Amino acid sequence: MGVTGPAGPVMDRDEVDRALARLGAEHEAIETSLLALQDHAGRRLLEGAELTGVTEERWAAAEASITLLWTYFDAYTQTLRTARRIRARRRWSSHEDLVELTELLRGESVTVAGSAHAGAPALSAVPGGLSERFSLTALVDRMNELYASSLDVVVAADAVWSALPARIDLLAAELRRTRRLAHSVGVRPGEHPAGDDLERITCTLTRLREQVVSDPLAFWIPAEGSAAPGGGRPDTTVYDREARALEDVRREIDAVLAVRKDAEQRIVRLRDVLNRADRTLAEARTARGEVLAKIAATEVPVVSGPPTALQEQLATAAEYRRQAQWHRLSPLLESLEQKAEDELMRARESLTAVTAPLAIRAELRGRLDAYRAKVARHGLAEDPELVERYEKARRMLWSAPCDLRVAEQAVLRYQRAAAELLGPAPGAPGPGGGPGDRREADA
């Protein structure tokens, strides 16, 4: 077993040389890292910015850590320089030199005066106040911790500043273009919802940029489970939401522009649809008078007048077009187009309902003539009973007013009489008449 001292077994010359080489390489790496941190663009921005919130607090702690890092590094440098000087005294170091080198290289030989710090390995009282004592290995570990935490703040702030302000500026430029376009079609705050949305997006983006510049770490999401400095990503939640809102507004403005482009054609089509609805209603009113005159004992629905409210709205739409109030014209045209189609459908349904009795009479006339033609083909047209029943049904159907219920019974009696004379056809029902008779007659 070799000779031991306060720092453990005394190192031999080879061990000392290897340790000095390793510590020298570490010293160079640490110095390179500290200089890179000193020149980091994010650090320079943090030093010159008016910070607030989370970033202000974390940067104050990081600045103190960086200052402490240089203090530690200076102490490390001084200790390493002392060890090299002792080793350089003689080519073959004496036992006393090796004992001293062992203490420097392995023992708690580094004292940093007046730099008490939370979590320091050891504290001892020295003249001038509290100080920390480290071995070179422990000091390197401590510097690595401080470097990582400081670099994390710098890299995170720089990442947010590199990503968000530029994107916000681009979105703000698009917002200004959209506002100008919106203004050209009359979309303004207080007059159109899209104008209000543009005003809100403008205020939000302005406020967001100010917050990002003064407190970038408030918009940083650390990566889960990552110990690397700067692991994470910028929080773009607010930016993304406003970008989507602006896109929605832009689509609405595009819709208004489309209205401006084809407004005249749409108004002409609307006027045509409403005119067709008016003509159909007029035809229904005329048909109702005819039905009341020709058909007896029938409930005929009342036909409403033309839709004056829609005509007034159409006139308003034309006025909006003349005044270039496209933001007002757009929703009005969409509403009118649906209402006009509904009105035309209602007019057609009204005409169908009013003329239903005439359609029933026409269907009865067709059935009667179809059966008469059938019996004529069989040479039975002159049968007295059939002639009598035919003439009775015909007088009812061709006289006014016509009682459809009585006329239908007369037609059925003629059908039954004809069926009895003709005899049942294969697969046809008996003389009572029914669907089979109807299909045969229609044939």
Structure tokens at 64: 């103190």
Nearest to residue 48, comparing CAs of 163, 206, 164, 157? 157
SS percent in the chain: helix, strand, coil, step 5: 75, 5, 20
Q: In sequence order, what are the beta bridge partners of 295? A: 402
Over its length of 443 residues, how does the chain's per-residue pLDDT go in tens digits?
A: 344 545 568 888 888 889 889 998 999 999 999 999 999 999 999 998 899 999 999 999 999 999 999 999 999 999 888 888 888 887 787 778 788 788 888 878 788 875 544 434 333 333 444 677 888 888 999 999 999 999 999 999 999 999 999 999 999 999 999 999 888 877 788 877 888 999 999 999 999 999 999 999 999 998 876 667 778 899 999 999 999 999 999 998 887 788 777 888 888 898 899 899 889 888 888 888 888 877 875 677 777 777 788 888 888 888 888 777 777 888 888 889 898 998 889 889 888 888 888 888 888 889 888 888 888 888 877 888 888 888 888 888 888 788 888 888 888 998 888 888 877 554 444 444 444 444 333 33
Could you state, in order of their start, the residue ranges of all structural domains in the chain? 4-150, 158-264, 266-354, 358-442
Residue listed under structure tokens 């003329």: 355
| Rounded Cα distance, 307 and 274, in Å | 8
| Rounded Cα distance, 89 and 302, in Å | 124
By the 8 A CB rule, do 237 and 268 touch?
A: no
Nearest to residue 324, comparing CAs of 265, 250, 263? 263
| Rounded Cα distance, 439 and 370, in Å | 11
Strands 110-113 and 8-9: unpaired
| Rounded Cα distance, 429 and 440, in Å | 11
CA angle (44, 48, 53) in 5-degree steps: 105
By the 8 A CB rule, do 350 and 281 touch?
A: yes
Around Cβ 342, how many Cβ atoms within 10 Å?
13
Backbone angles phi, psi at 221, to 5 degrees: -110, 105
